[in-house]
Structures are given as structure tokens and as C-alpha cells.
Structure 1
Amino acid sequence: MSWSCPLCHAPLERHNNSYICPQRHQFDLAKEGYINLLPVQHKRSRDPGDSAEMMQARRAFLDAGHYQPLREAIADILTHAAPHNVLDIGCGEGYYTHAFADIAGHTWGLDVSKVAVRYGAKRYSQVEFCVASSQRLPFSDGCMDAVVRIYAPCNPQELERVVKPGGLVITATPGPRHLMELKGLIYDEIRLHEANSETLPGFEKVSQQQLAYPMTLTGGEAVALLQMTPFAWRAKPEVWEKLAGLEKFDCQTDFLIQVWQRNA
């Protein structure tokens, strides 16, 4: 199995360091080993996705092991499913993706952020990385045994298209009390995360589990975590300064992991 052209959806074939479709659309392989399948006309901004600063904060936090239980929980689901082809949507720099590559026969990582994909490709050669939109997955119909989405948005019709009958989609989303202490520094009124009411056309939800545990972070780790969150832009300068000066910061996680199976 190979990539498909994001412009005409025909299969891409590799010729030296390029991938070319029958319509002669060409995409070059970067020196780090990833392929950029995000044409300029599909971009919503000049450099979509996480910036270098955000990516570095995310890598520092994840490498410290604070979200390792989440990675292990999803890896356990994949181990029991024994998929051959796995796609990680919104893979970032590959912290989760490379663990899935130890389980599956073939693993792909997809993200809209070029800087994150470049770092991932440098570090994890066992994963095939691409810069691409999750709204237009550059893969053929029914080619994936499993797709993982950790916080990542996606076009549900695309999931239905690329996942094989009987295949799985595994999602991880925030539970009600996720990062409550961090939110308490930013908002006057703390609101619980709303219950996940997502439905996936063509899929049946076959299992669900909640994963919650406390974390004790350094001030630097708390700053890195805040940079990873969607409410970072609401944090005032004094919040950043307070976190950076702390010796420790206690914060709880609350994840909801759902498994969906593609209808036959």
C-alpha cells in the first residue's frame, strides 16, 4: 500500500525520491524521510498546525512520561486487535505513533504541522510520516485496519472511507475533570468538559473506558503542558510567571477512550 494523490486521489508511485501519480502530480520525499501531501490550496494558513515552540513544549512534556498511561492504554487495545496497518491522525512529533509501530505491521503518522512531522521523521524511522489534512486522508479506500485519533479532528466520512470493514477507530478525548487545576488558574468559573456525544457514521461503538490519574509536575512541565492546551491563549502573563516559578504543580488527568468498529 502507498500514498494516494491529494489532488486527484490516484495512487502515488515512488520514483527515486519523489512520488508521482498517473496525472503527473509530483511530491518529493524530504531528507528526513517524510512526504508533504498538503497542497497550498488545501492550507488554511501559511504554516498550519503546531508551531516549533508548541511542538517543543509538547515533546518535553510527553517525554517526561506524564501521558504514558494513555499511550499504554491505546497500545493495549491495538495489541489485542493485532492490526497490520495503523494510521495515527494528528500524530504530532510521534510520541504515541512510534509505540504503535511496535505492535502493527505498518504504521503511518499524519499531521498538518510540518515542523512536528519533520521532528517525528528524524526520530522514528519505523513510522511513515506525512504532512496532510485530516479532512482529505491521502490513502485508498478500505486500506486501514485501525485509525487512532488522540484529540485530533477528522472528517468522519474519510474515516468511513479508509477503514476496512471490521476495522477500528480509537479516539481519546478529554473527560469532564481533565486539567481542572490548570483551568482554575485561567478562568474565574471552572466548567467541566462536556460529555463526548460524537457519533461516527458507518461505525458502532464497541467499548469505552475512562482513564484518570493525578500528576505532580515541575513548574517548567506545567508551563509546557499549558502550551499544549487550547486555552493557553487565555492565560495572562502572570499565570505563565506563576507556573514557571513553582517547584511543583499538582494536576489531574481525565481521558475518555472510545473504540469504534467499522460496519461490515
Structure 2
Amino acid sequence: MNLLMCPVCREQLKLTERTWRCDNQHSYDVAKQGYVNLHVVQHKHSKQPGDTPESVQARRTFLTAGHYAPLQQAVVSKIRQLRIENLLDIGCGEGYYTNAMQAEVMQCVGVDIAKNAVQVAAKLNKLVTWVVGTGAVLPVRDETIDLCTSLFSPIPQAEILRVLKPQAHLLVVTPAAQHLYAMREALFEEVQPHEPEKFVSQLSAEFNLVDEQLIQAPLHLNQEDLKALIAMTPYAYKAKPEKRLALEQQAQFEVNAAFQIYVFQKR
């Protein structure tokens, strides 16, 4: 099944050789790295939306070291239990989680607004359909998806409802209350716990919560991995430069990562 939708006219896209084309003859070439750019100019609000190249590279460095492997494994386990065919990962970034998800499904689409992130992701796994696109208009056909995943990414609820099949699922991963608390204490004067449960109330009108799990991972970081962790988070530009510099000078740092996984079912 071709899952992709033309972002201009919303017709089905079909792949012929290395070009995606709809019946209205809008066409999108597959880039040499193996992704397709469906983020059309009329949907753009900035020249380079999404994560910066520095953030993408920091995330690749940190995740490749295996620090968030417990989360990756837990997400893969949830997907395996659901026994689904078509998966859409919204905000796939540089592909660490999407790459692992692909083995559990028949078709996997990874979408991110940051072209530089998708360029990196596309080198990981040729079996994933990698797409530059926006959550505001997901370039995916109506009611074709068994599971949408959003890991630390926005949740475009109306678009998710559109692309999900009836009774299909949404998996959300968000920071748990104490996620990276010690690091945030080092970077900011005041630190508030994260509030993951807000997503449950936000989605309650259209989704039932069917599963939840807290994943905790104690991190013992050397200086290089600590710098990468800071650089891949929004804290990199939110913290005062002197606070960030002081933390980056630590040779070793211990902090707990904590992730909240929610699985919802479309009503």
C-alpha cells in the first residue's frame, strides 16, 4: 500500500523508479540520500525549520552511545505487542528510534520537519520511507496508519486522527517528572518537574489511554557525552552561557533519565 499523500492536492502518491507522483502530476524526487521532501513552500514558516545541524549531530553522538537504549527497547516491545502493519513516526529526527521500530512492522514512515535530520536518518535504514514534512499537514493518506508514534515531538492531534485507522493507536513518549533533574538544576536557578500527565487530559476527548509505563535510566556520563546531551536539548540555548560552560567542564556527571510512555487508542 502506498501511504504517502501529495501535500499540494492531497491525492495518493505513487513511487515510480525514484519519483513520487500523484494523478495531478505533482512530483517529488527521492534524494540521493534516500528521502523525499514533501515539505512544500506554502507550509513553511522559516527557511530552516526544525533542529539545527549541531543539535542533530549531538543527538546522533549521544544516542549512538546507547544511553537511551532502555527507552528504545521499551518502545520496540510495545510495538511488538500491538502486532501492527503500518507505522508513522512523527518527529523522527535522526532516526534512532524509527530505525529500531521498522523491524516490527510491514511499512514504516518517518517524518520530520528538519531536512538535515532526515538526511542523517535516511542513511540508517533503507526500508523506512523517510520524509521531510510537517505535522501541520502530515503527508500521509487518510485512515491508513495502525500506529502513530511521537517521541519528544509535537502531537498534531487533528492530523493524527485523520491518518489513523478506526481503533488504531498513538504512542507518546515524553519526559517523566524527574527527567534529567540534576542537569537542569545545574543549568537553571529554578527547576520544575515535568508534567507528562498533561498529554492524557489533552487527548482524552478522542483517545482512550490503554497502557502506560515509566522507564528510568541512570546515566554515568563522561565529558563528551555530557556536552552532547546538553547540546541536543532545548536547555542548550535556554540556559545562561556561563551556567552551560560550567557544567560542560565537568569530567564526569551522573544524572537520571526518566521517560513516560503512553499508549492511546483512537475512539
TM-score (norm 2): 0.94
**Is 1:154 aligned with 2:158?**
no
CA apart distance, 1:244? 3.1
Partner of 2:58 in structure 1? 57
CA apart distance, 1:66? 0.8
**Judging changes above 3 Å, is the alpha-carbon distance between structure 1 residues 77 and 233 closer, same or farther for their aligned structure 2 residues?**
same
**Judging changes above 3 Å, is the alpha-carbon distance between structure 1 residues 195 and 18 closer, same or farther for their aligned structure 2 residues?**
closer
Partner of 1:15 in structure 2? 16
CA apart distance, 1:142? 1.1
1:121-160 equivalent positions in 2, closer than 5 A: 121-160=122-161
Structure 2 counterpart of 1:236, from 229, 232, 240: 240
Structure 1 counterpart of 2:226, from 214, 222, 228: 222
**Paired residues of 1:223 and 1:240 also in contact (CA < 8 A):** no
**Paired residues of 1:220 and 1:243 also in contact (CA < 8 A):** no
Structure 1 counterpart of 2:260, from 251, 256, 260: 256
Partner of 2:187 in structure 1? 186
TM-superposition CA deviations, 1:85-135 (whole Å, max 9, x none): 111111111100011111111111110010110111122112110000011
Aligned length: 263
**Paired residues of 2:36 and 2:132 also in contact (CA < 8 A):** yes
Structure 2 counterpart of 1:213, from 214, 217, 225: 217
Give structure 2 stretches of 5+ with no counterpart.
none
**Is 1:93 aligned with 2:97?**
no
TM-superposition CA deviations, 1:157-190 (whole Å, max 9, x none): 1111111122111000111111111111221122
TM-superposition CA deviations, 1:38-65 (whole Å, max 9, x none): 0011111101111111100000000011
TM-superposition CA deviations, 1:189-222 (whole Å, max 9, x none): 2211124222324321111111123111111111
Comparing 235-244 and 50-59, the one that deviates more: 235-244
**Paired residues of 2:93 and 2:118 also in contact (CA < 8 A):** yes
The sequence identity of aligned pairs, in percent, is 37
CA apart distance, 1:146? 0.8
**Paired residues of 1:178 and 1:252 also in contact (CA < 8 A):** yes
Comparing 205-214 and 166-175, the one that deviates more: 205-214
Provide the C-alpha distance between the structure 2 equivalents of 1:234 and 1:252, rounded to a whole number of angstroms: 20
**Paired residues of 1:34 and 1:118 also in contact (CA < 8 A):** yes
**Paired residues of 1:212 and 1:253 also in contact (CA < 8 A):** yes
Aligned-CA RMSD value: 1.3
SS in 2 for 1:11: coil
Partner of 1:30 in structure 2? 31
Partner of 2:104 in structure 1? 103
**Is 1:247 aligned with 2:248?**
no
SS in 2 for 1:123: coil
Provide the C-alpha distance between the structure 2 equivalents of 1:119 and 1:211, rounded to a whole number of angstroms: 27
**Paired residues of 1:160 and 1:203 also in contact (CA < 8 A):** no
Comparing 107-116 and 201-210, the one that deviates more: 201-210
Which amino acid in structure 2 is aligned with residue 100 of structure 1? M
SS in 2 for 1:116: helix
CA apart distance, 1:235? 2.2
